[in-house]
Amino acid sequence: MYGAILGDIIGSPYEFDRSGKTKDFPLFSPESRFTDDTVMTVAVADAFLSCPAGASDEAIRRQLIRSMQRFGRLHPDIGYGAKFLNWLMSEDPQPYGSWGNGSAMRVSPCGLIAVTLQEALELAEASAAVTHNHPEGIKGAQAVAAAIFLARTGRTQAEIK
């Protein structure tokens, strides 16, 4: 999670800059800040840490929504997309078929807490599906969670690829 959060903060000044890639930039600048991706990463971690062992899929889904809305509403003006912001403020939040990268950006806790690769994939699907229930949104989250799980459990870069 440190990597996800630091990467978010370090990259924040360049998030919408399409002028070219370089490795020559300051890690932190006056424009550096946490974004919606950091807030949702913390919310996903909170949700899974708040669920008791053996919680039902429905209980996990409810806790994900509760945590994401609680943390997100504390920081409503840090870069959420319009559909996600509507979801965040809704009294009856429903998945909206997104296939964007938001589900992948917030999924790192799933790769960290999982005991098996299968569990990492299942947790990633759960964390994505509350908003990004399009198959591509779920696949993106699963790919990132799997890579984190495999790296954490000592797999080589070639094995992860």
> Over 80: is that where the pLDDT of 18 sits?
no
Sign (positive/negative) of CA torsion 81, 85, 86, 92? positive
Phi (first) and psi of residue 60, to 5 degrees = -65, -45
Q: pTM of this prediction?
A: 0.93
For the segment 113-125, the average pLDDT, to the nearest whole number, is: 97
Angle, CA of 28, 70 and 36, to the nearest 5° = 30
DSSP conformation class of 23:
S
Share of the chain above pLDDT 90, in %: 89
Summarize the confidence of residues 76-97 as an average pLDDT. Answer: 95
The DSSP secondary-structure symbol of 27 reads S
Hey, what amino acid is at 48?
Answer: F
Q: Model confidence over 127-150: pLDDT tens digits?
A: 999 999 999 999 999 999 999 999
Distance between CA 146 and CA 114 in Å, rounded?
A: 10
Query: Does residue 74 have a pLDDT over 90?
Result: yes
